[in-house]
Chain A
């Protein structure tokens, strides 16, 4: 996309806009960044690649002034600077869009963008109309279409991200840090983000992009710096390398992109959904007379564009949302409108879509999170008293098995990297040994090595004759991992295909509302 602006001499001749030199950042004894250097030139898209917990977000937080480096230097346009806080970062024209967004939900798009730099008239009156116009102009210039008057809580995640980008641009950012911008986006939105990034670099902005999706990196980035376990590994020219090479550099071994799985005969029905109707928060029907079966020994992939009732469906199955009509049963046992606990006890496990809201108590330690559903059961508790020793033992085992980094069961989960937070949830849910495992976006934010692991874990569940319901916005993942694929559109299943016969085009068509046969 931005491959046209890649003069080869640049990297040596020009002064880099950002030069981070030998950055070390420690948290207590833990070294999150171990002597990392990074050079970014004007108009370049520079990717940061590394496993979960490698230290990417930390490095960028240092650049944005959120963390003070333990040692190391930062040069902006050749001049050494000390970035003590985000305000100073903004003065140096650095903007950042975080992995987890930072918007004020009840505010409008414009209010969020101007927050902290409002222009006011007499008596402190906000010049909101003026600001709205500015926002509109800005969004036009870079092709970032948003409605300046919409409330944040009413717009999609993709839109929220645009607001974050606009927020940075409004503050005059020339260097834009995007921390895993695509993890939360639909394929269409990712495509549009690619265009936006291209527009930005065309205008001379430089972009630092963190992503685990190698395919995107290949398309969007010019250079890529790879870090592993806090250490600098290499900076490569993206056009001169392959996805496999990148993956190997980042993980330190060859990664298998194809999911290994042997053909398997599916058994009896485990989850049965009949004519399910569920409403969304606004009181409209989000799931409309949906019927679906998931059988023993199969992975059923649910494909669909975000917002077609997937989240409401999953919440209804797991007891978190009321079922208006219809029936859900597991092994012929009715679980319609049962409590979450009763449903968990019916051997259903769930990797929720929103890990920070549903999946984790961020202020709890790793081990406390690992026993969430089972905290009152043996061996973790006896007669209402927790057995911390057993809990610790269990946690150490899981941390080891699921490669959660760092290996510290007492670490507060909120301080783990995004991907490792996800691993904690997966460890817990898979270990529950469910008859039905629901996995919603299980690999969101995970590095390729971890994705490989999660996919294997899902396949292992299936091979052990358990049922798996995989909900993902990523078609590749659905096709690769599933045995059968159901397509959801506007709250109903509009198509069902065997994964062996699935192709992206016809699935895409169904997801957009067409039928398989057209």
Chain B
């Protein structure tokens, strides 16, 4: 009976994901209860904090954008059998290059924006490609090399921040990018006099435009579709998946395994780098000194996991993640409930999502697939 139950869920990924999310929320509720808070009230505050105002929703979307992209990055590499822990560093490279190109170069927006994006893609793609190359050429495990490259990227950014001519006087931040490189919606207009006047009469739009709402989310969606198309409908995707599933068979079939590892990591790097670039162009407009990793890359691992490593899944799980991360902490000021609860909830969701693999392993114990084949 139990076995049948488990089997049903381990076979239906979507159902399992939904159940895991509810289980995560449920256990979070128990913890809240144990800590002396009313879970219904707490979750009410959270939902209110997510859906209450157009502004909130806009923030959720803004929050989700980089997560969707780093999630896609990790999912993409994973399809080729690679574990991209380097999304963090690739993100940093993308954002740094975006600021450099966005600040130093002066061009009309129509050229400037694509240029910034392309430069960030190239640099972060290269950054990811290094890992692929080391793996293909010298057999260096990608987990190790990406972790090291993450730190290199971090210190590279911090080093640049202190460079005269780039550091904004009086702060540990860079100069902001030129307005022509910004992708924030109506950035200039909403601060102009007529803009302020118009918005005063239109409370909905005023609320929405309080946030740095920008093109990033739409670009992320388009990229998710593109990634889906590549994996499903192109020869490149076919090769990458073949390598991911069985590199021996791929090699036998004339597929250049090493080359495809480099390609896969390059694309994965570019996806994470795009996350960084869009964040700079749409939200922060500058970079600041990093004391530690910001966590976009690591959250991306969870996003990709919850999204079952599919592009569409990453979009939804990125939104979920962004929502929880934005709405969750609102429990604290409203009712004094520790906002860490929401991290616990996320942790539990990830835990339960990972469980189907474990259950499948148990169910298939002794069966061909998971057991060590000789």
Contact = CB atoms under 8 A, between A and B. Distances in A.
Given A66-B367, A102-B366, A102-B372, A320 B252 contact: yes
Contacts of A344: 253-254
A105 B241 CA distance: 26
A372 B252 CA distance: 9
A86 B256 CA distance: 41
B250 interface: yes
A115 to B, nearest CB: 11
Contacts of B255: 341
B238 interface: yes
Contacts of A368: 238
B295 to A, nearest CB: 32
A103 B374 contact: yes
B22 interface: no
B253 A86 contact: no
A152 interface: yes
A386 B368 contact: no
Interface string B15-54: 0000000000000000000000000000000000000000
A363 B246 contact: yes
Interface stretch (B159-167, B169-177, B229-237, B341-349): B229-237
Contacts of B233: 385-386, 388
A352 interface: yes
Contacts of B253: 340, 344, 372-373
B109 to A, nearest CB: 32
Interface string A345-378: 1000010100011111111100010001101100
B336 to A, nearest CB: 46
Contacts of A86: 365-366
B7 to A, nearest CB: 9
A72 B57 CA distance: 56
Interface in A37-78: 61, 64, 66, 68
B34 to A, nearest CB: 34
B373 interface: yes
B309 to A, nearest CB: 13
Given A66-B367, A100-B373, A386 B252 contact: no
Nearest to B246: A361
B371 interface: yes
Contacts of A340: 251-254
Given A105-B374, A386-B234, A318 B369 contact: no
A375 B239 contact: yes
Interface string A92-113: 0000001011111100000000
A249 interface: no
Which of B3, B241, B251, B252 has the most chain A CB atoms closer than 10 A to its own CB?
B252
Contacts, number: 101
A152 B372 CA distance: 11
B205 interface: no
B245 A363 contact: yes
A420 interface: no
A268 to B, nearest CB: 26
B271 interface: no
Contacts of A356: 373
B249 interface: yes
A372 B373 contact: no
A318 B235 contact: no
A381 B239 CA distance: 13
Nearest to B250: A361
A207 B242 CA distance: 39
B235 A381 contact: yes
B248 interface: yes
Contacts of A352: 252
Interface string B67-79: 0000000000000
A358 B372 CA distance: 16
Interface string A384-425: 111010000000000000000000000000100000000000
B249 A386 contact: no
Nearest to A380: B235
Contact of A357 (B249, B256, B365): B249
Contacts of A61: 367
B254 A361 contact: no
A431 interface: no
Given A100-B373, A376-B235, A384-B235, A360 B256 contact: no
A225 interface: no
B253 to A, nearest CB: 4
A375 B238 contact: yes
Nearest to A84: B3
A443 interface: no
A498 to B, nearest CB: 33
Contacts of A362: 245-246, 369
A160 interface: yes
A384 B234 contact: yes
Given A101-B374, A384-B234, A358 B252 contact: yes
Given A101-B374, A339-B254, A341-B256, A375 B246 contact: no
Interface string B245-274: 110111111111000000000000000000
B249 A152 contact: no
B10 to A, nearest CB: 15
A60 to B, nearest CB: 12
A153 B374 CA distance: 8
B249 A100 contact: no
Contacts of A85: 3
Contacts of A381: 234-235
Contact of B372 (A66, A103, A343, A350): A103
A306 to B, nearest CB: 15
Given A372-B242, A386-B234, A386-B238, A414 B368 contact: yes
A160 B245 contact: no
B374 A160 contact: yes
Contacts of B374: 100-103, 105, 152-153, 157, 160
A293 B3 CA distance: 57
Contacts of B238: 368, 375, 386
Nearest to A357: B248
Nearest to A67: B367
A393 to B, nearest CB: 17
Contacts of A105: 372, 374
A358 B253 CA distance: 8
Nearest to B366: A86
Contacts of A100: 368, 373-374
A384 B236 contact: yes
Contacts of B256: 339, 341
Given A343-B254, A368-B238, 7 more contacts: A103-B374, A152-B374, A157-B374, A344-B254, A357-B246, A360-B246, A373-B253
- A-B pairs with the 7 shortest C-beta distances? A341-B254, A372-B253, A101-B374, A376-B235, A363-B245, A102-B371, A358-B252
13 contacts: A101-B373, A102-B374, A320-B252, A339-B256, A341-B255, A361-B242, A362-B369, A363-B245, A364-B242, A381-B235, A388-B233, A414-B368, A414-B369
